[in-house]
Amino acid sequence: MVTEQAYAKINLTLHVTGQRADGYHLLDSLVVFVGVGDVLSAKRTGIGALTIEGPFGHDIPLGADNLVLRAAQAFDGADITFSLVKNLPPASGIGGGSADAAAAIRAVLRLRAAGTVPALTVNDQARLADLGADVPVCLLSQPSRMRGVGEILEPVAVPACWITLANPRVEVPTPAVFRALTQKANPPMPEALPDWPDVAAFTAWLARQRNDLEGPARAIAPVIGTVLAALTATKGALLTRMSGSGATCFALYATQALAEAGAAQLRAKHPDWWVAPAPVLAGNPIPRQL
């Protein structure tokens, strides 16, 4: 048996820079992963199957369209049984489904190779794209600049910091958010990203960037504005923003104590929200040869 962590993916920035003729949107996004996520276990049983438990397990379909099963099928893992502990809220802008699919791929490859994940081939990369735009970056699970439709990845060094995530338990469908985006050709991030000496410089730079989907998402789910205001009101919050297409929002902090205090404040005022403090994973937490 192997176990893989499916870390939450956070879009610190998300610039929508265009739209291709096939409808796919072009992005320029600074992505990090944080120390909270789903957990996927896998073993070769000769049977392709999936069981799901955890706080959000009842919200995830078990049919053939489940991303874990689709990913396993795409990478010749039809004889593997998976068990998923679903800790991340679905349809929340933090890549939960994509992270689960990426974890399934890593698990299949590790089982096939009896250990470290081998390097991916060109054909593997094509199969990744078919599973979703966020799957390639989730497979790596390290700070990255993500461009194109998610296939152009560049590792990025980010300062050590902490984050608190907050989701009002409202699902915001990504296609609806993109449909509501009226301006599709927006400026990208600067071509050369700076070297940030500390979290203060990092968040000051981030504040000059954008999430172009925040406005459309707030129009669909106005409660996102309430979540952002609540995060901004926490002590030590250096930056607040929505991740992905929402509705999860985040605040960045310099220390663990501030992040945990902010999370406690949110839970006290909004006990019905999902709230999670976590470290930003500045390196590559998953040893492999991708």
CATH class of 2-155: alpha beta
Q: What is the pLDDT of residues 213-269, one digit of tens each?
A: 999 999 999 999 999 999 999 999 999 999 999 999 999 999 999 999 999 999 999
* Residue in 91, 39, 92 with CA at minimum distance from that of residue 68: 39
Query: 198 an active-site residue?
Result: no
* Residue in 249, 59, 29 with CA at minimum distance from that of residue 149: 29
pTM, two decimal places = 0.94
Q: What are the φ/ψ torsions at residue 15 (nearest 5 degrees)?
A: -100, 120
In this structure, what token pair is assigned to residue 73? 């099928």
Residue 109, classed as helix, strand or coil, is helix
Burial track 136-147 (b if 16+ CB lie within 10 A, e otherwise): bbbbbbbbbbbb
- Please answer whether residues 18 and 185 qualify as being in contact, where contact means their C-beta atoms are separated by less than 8 angstroms: yes
Q: What is the pLDDT of residues 87-105, one digit of tens each?
A: 999 999 999 999 999 999 9
Structure confidence at residue 63 (pLDDT)? 83
Structure confidence at residue 130 (pLDDT)? 85
| Distance between CA atoms of residues 170 and 236, nearest Å | 26
The one catalytic residue in 9, 38, 86, 212 is: 9
Mind listing the pLDDT tens digit of every residue in the chain (290 residues)?
999 999 999 999 999 999 999 999 999 999 999 999 999 999 999 999 999 999 999 999 888 789 999 999 999 999 999 999 999 999 999 999 999 999 999 999 999 876 556 566 656 777 887 899 999 999 999 999 999 999 999 999 999 999 999 999 998 999 999 999 999 999 999 999 999 999 999 999 999 999 999 999 999 999 999 999 999 999 999 999 999 999 999 999 999 999 999 999 999 999 999 999 999 998 655 544 44
Q: What is the DSSP letter of 169?
A: S
* Residue in 72, 71, 100 with CA at minimum distance from that of residue 84: 100
Residue 64, judged by CB atoms within 10 A of its CB (0-12, 13-18, 19+), counts as: exposed
Structure confidence at residue 288 (pLDDT)? 46
Structure confidence at residue 281 (pLDDT)? 96
Query: 134 an active-site residue?
Result: yes
Partners of 14 in beta bridges? 211
CATH number of 162-279: 3.30.70.890
What residues does each domain of the chain span? 2-155, 162-279
The one catalytic residue in 28, 38, 100, 134 is: 134
Structure confidence at residue 116 (pLDDT)? 57
